[in-house]
Amino acid sequence: MLIRRPADIAPSEITDQTIYRQRRNFITGAAAIGVSAFLPTQATASTKLPNIKKSAYQVNEALTPFKDVTTYNNFYEFSTDKSGPAIIARNFTTRPWTVTVDGLVHKPMTFDIEDLLKFSLEERVYRLRCVEGWSMVIPWLGFSLNEILKRVQPTGSAKYVEFTTLLDPERMPGQRYPVLNWPYVEGLRLDEAQHPLTLLALGLYGEVLPNQNGAPVRIVTPWKYGFKSTKSIVRIRLVESPPVSSWMRAAPSEYGFYSNVNPDVDHPRWSQARERRIGEFLKRKTLPFNGYGDQVASMYAGMDLKKYF
């Protein structure tokens, strides 16, 4: 048996005490979900998405295996453990589902998930970097969020975009515990949301988005830490002031509004200078803007990225 002394454990591997306490409560209460939540479901019709075209947005790196992408997840609405969402979200129902886009727009609209699947979907291979220090390379399926924003026509006073996850503790049992102030809320500056790299994702690896990865629709902003990419979205609201995100509200000294991947800005409890790609043993250097600096750095010209972390 390998016994690890405290000095051997990296700070990024230590669970915050608040999360640890909530995790114990969650595990204790998990039995109330019912045994059926942990049993395999019957085979369903093919989950493959048809007519996917290749995108120009590709990372020429080895893909993270599908099994790892779908069994190592941050999705606190289901569990604070990385392996928990794949089990607990197995029977999560994603039909019917609508996404409302409103706020400071000329033409507020509500999109059914089936309508979103009719958009011209493309495969984009993006890096995903999480604040805890791990990363993946994933072939996402979707289209630029701006395709939706153009349809609703933002007003001149719209400066930010707020994203809200479904609030339903019956379907998302992690929301029964105050790990965060539910529902999950995140935000982007309008120009960030309109950037062609910002993806409205509906699938990965050629298939519809797995429940544990944010089904049925999520955001992917590849130059920001993963928690900025809201999962299971039900509302997109255009606003004038910066939204206060869930993690900003929970720990404002640790999580800023921008949350761009920046190896020069440490998390208060660990360094962000290096990362471990899931499936690899050795760590690698963290790239500024997660390697997307050529595409997005101009949006932050003149900003102090240590102050505006």
- The pLDDT tens digits along the chain (309 residues) read 333 433 333 434 434 444 444 444 444 344 334 433 333 333 334 589 988 999 999 999 999 999 999 999 999 999 999 999 999 999 999 999 999 999 999 999 999 999 999 999 999 999 999 999 999 999 999 999 999 999 999 999 999 999 999 999 999 999 999 999 999 999 999 999 999 999 999 999 999 999 999 999 999 999 999 999 999 999 999 999 999 999 999 999 999 999 999 999 999 999 999 999 999 999 999 999 999 999 999 999 999 999 999
pLDDT of residue 131: 96
pLDDT of residue 46: 55
Q: How many CA atoms lie within 13 A of 26 on its CB side?
A: 25
pLDDT of residue 18: 41
103, 239 in Cβ contact below 8 A?
Answer: yes
Task: Name the pTM for this structure.
Answer: 0.86
- Count the neighbouring beta carbons within 10 Å of the beta carbon of residue 25: 15
User: Going from the N-terminus, what domains does the chain have, and what CATH number goes with each?
Assistant: 48-300 (3.90.420.10)
